[in-house]
Amino acid sequence: MLEKLRNIGIIAHIDAGKTTTTERILFYTGLTHKLGETHDGESVMDFLPYEKERGITVASAATRCVWREHAINIIDTPGHVDFTAEVERSLRILDGVVVIFCAKGGVEPQSETVWRQADKYRIPRIAYVNKMDAIGADFFRVVEQIKGRLGANPVVVSMPVYENEALAGVIDLIKMVYITFGGRLGNEIQEQEIPEQYRQAAEEQRHLMIESIAEQDEAILELYLDNKLITENDIINAVRRQTVANNIVPVICGSSYRNIGVQILLDAIVDYLPSPLEVDIPMATHVESGQTLEILPEAQNQFAALIFKIISDRHVGKLAFARIYSGTCKAGTYVFNSTKGKKERIGRLVKMHANHREEVESVQAGDIAAIIGLKDIGTGDTICDEDFQVMLESITFPEPVIQIAIEPKTQSDQAKLGEALNRISAEDPTFKVVYNHDTGQTLISGMGELHLEIITERLNREYGVDFTIGQPQVAYKETISHSAEHETRFVKQTGGKGQFAHVILRLEPGEGFEFTSQVVGGNVPREYIPAVEAGVRQALEEGVVKGYPVVNVKATLLDGSYHEVDSSEMAFRTAAMMATRECLKKAGSHLLEPIMKLEITSPEEFTGNIINNISNRRGRLESMSSENNTQIIRGRVPLAELFGYSTTLRSLTQGRAGFSMEFSHYEKQPVAS
């Protein structure tokens, strides 16, 4: 019953209450029998040791529950910017999301980032304003921020009620009832009349809600203009239609920690978020014909699924999380990995509940499951029937911006380290491992200091590797400023067969990497041209300025010649590498450095100190805004200038300011005078 299935994610800024909300959902749907708290290190979803210690989510966790006879697959994602890839890969395969906002903090920096990620995949969403019990909570201010900062169209469907300055319950503006959540654990729900002092405000909000819906929905507009009765069902159906169409965002409120409003959130997930049948039909490319096909979510169709997450498990090997887009997948059958061009056998199929597994015989279109037994599998791979070779759109991830050197302490640690790094990089697409031949160092790169800190902790705890690490370094890149040409003859004559290759190559600035050939008349035979491209690519891995990877280059093979006996792929590859290095020297190679988006929240009296400090760090101020005596300062600063910034900011502001940063772009590093 696909119409009774919801695949949803929970996304938010760090500390908005994602995991606490998920814990309440598991409790109220009867999946757990005790409330786990993140601050006690007892939550079900944050089950990794380093998540429990820090009280934050690091890896997205999947679970499944049932509410009002609807099955809900939930993915709880991290809020920290260093783990943005976990959000990206989850959003790629979800049908709807709940975006949680803190009633005090409102739209915070990472709220904007995850919202834009959801925009990218056009995912319908519900906004849940959590922590309505906090001092300084302001529900309608957050709604205004959702409208102003995120450019969304929020429609308020519930509002908070306070008694003696404490959150007591919520008013459902569709049913026009006051709902309280009694009992020690908030599971005694009572519907009452709206308190007298809130009646007028509730009437006004309901009127605004119906007007907002009528602006988008013709059925409601007709009833509204004809002054006809608009029923509860009319409103729910209209909100659903417009939420699925991404025209509105229903906004509800509550306090998950105080057990208020979570059941209303569950109702909203069932009532407003789409089933797999209601979302845009995913498209796939047929591997042989190149045709674009619609992948319909039907169990009897041919099988196609996307792998969106890999976990290495000591006991079972790789666990591959898959979203099934069409057909049925059975344990023990063979599937085809169209990304890698390989046939693989599915060992077992499991439904995940955080770190617990429930084995199943088969899964069908629309569902999410983990597959055990796939050997050569990666994030973003498509698996399908062998006679239905299609490729679904893969997942793109941001480039890592920070790196550290890591050295094993003993010979036995060397072997363990290599295996552990391979496993972690297979799981995490934003984690890269590079071996620097010049220095003999192993360099690991990630999205930020916390990201690398957690990876090194895993190496020690999970894999038992003893190692030392260097100071964090910036992951620079190199590029060229103008075009250059070079002619290389590679001739090597020893006894017997020699080596001969002759290439004329031009490099010029471009977007990404592009290789073309203008060779005519077979001067360089067609079979050697891929070897030339491979040589260029290899040379671009280490630039001529400081040995960093070279980006944004268009390479053109202009001409060349060959020898019938002595020429080989190896010779042309070597000649291309030599020509590329010479071109890089001539083409004005320079360093590119990562620039970070910085957002600082601080009391107003420290603004001057902060701005001076940003300009001393080669930063550019972009905007300033003031809210409740708090200054929000936004700017862009080179990553190289931000190591240890949290300590500096604490000392500048007596520990009263906070900041967040995320990668923005690469730009030319100024030459030191």
Give average pLDDT by consecutive 10-residue segment, the chain, 673 residues: 91 86 88 59 50 59 88 82 78 94 88 85 96 93 93 95 93 96 89 94 96 95 92 96 96 95 96 94 91 91 92 78 94 94 92 77 92 90 94 84 86 88 87 76 83 88 88 86 94 80 95 92 91 95 90 94 90 96 94 90 88 93 82 91 82 79 86 60
Question: Which element (helix H / strand E) includes 364?
Answer: strand 362-364
DSSP string, 607-654: HHHHHHHHHHTT-EEEEEEEETTEEEEEEEEEGGG-TTHHHHHHHHTT
Partners of 309 in the β-ladder:
321
Structure tokens at 69: 């006879």
On whether the CB atoms of residues 70 and 29 are closer than 8 A, the answer is: no
Q: What local confidence, expressed as pLDDT, does residue 47 receive?
A: 44
pTM assigned to the model: 0.76
Q: What local confidence, expressed as pLDDT, does residue 49 receive?
A: 59
Beta-carbon contacts of residue 481 (< 8 Å; ≥ 6 apart) = 509, 587, 588, 589, 590
Look at strands 590-603 and 499-509 and give their pairing: unpaired
d(CA 448, CA 57): 15
Q: How many CB atoms lie within 10 A of CB 668?
A: 11
- Give how far the C-alpha of residue 226 lies from the chain's centroid of Cα atoms, to the nearest Å: 46
d(CA 645, CA 666): 20
What are the b/e assignments for 156-189, b being 16+ CB within 10 Å?
Answer: bbbbbbeeeeebbbbbbbbeebbbbbeeeebeee
> Phi and psi (nearest 5°) for 449?
-65, -40
Q: How many CB atoms lie within 10 A of CB 287?
A: 17
Q: What local confidence, expressed as pLDDT, does residue 60 receive?
A: 66
Structure tokens at 649: 């900011």
On whether the CB atoms of residues 253 and 103 are closer than 8 A, the answer is: yes
Helix (H, G, I), strand (E, B) or coil at 51: helix
Q: How far is CA 321 from CA 137, 183, 370, in A?
A: 38, 38, 4
Structure tokens at 361: 């015989």
Q: What local confidence, expressed as pLDDT, does residue 39 receive?
A: 47
- Burial class of residue 192 (count of CB atoms within 10 Å of its CB; 0-12, 13-18, 19+): exposed
d(CA 499, CA 493): 7
Beta-carbon contacts of residue 630 (< 8 Å; ≥ 6 apart) = 601, 602, 603, 604
525-579, pLDDT tens digit by residue? 999 999 999 999 999 999 999 888 999 999 999 999 999 888 999 999 999 999 9
d(CA 404, CA 443): 6
Q: What local confidence, expressed as pLDDT, does residue 673 receive?
A: 45
- Residues, the chain: 673
Beta-carbon contacts of residue 37 (< 8 Å; ≥ 6 apart) = 20, 23, 43
d(CA 425, CA 423): 6
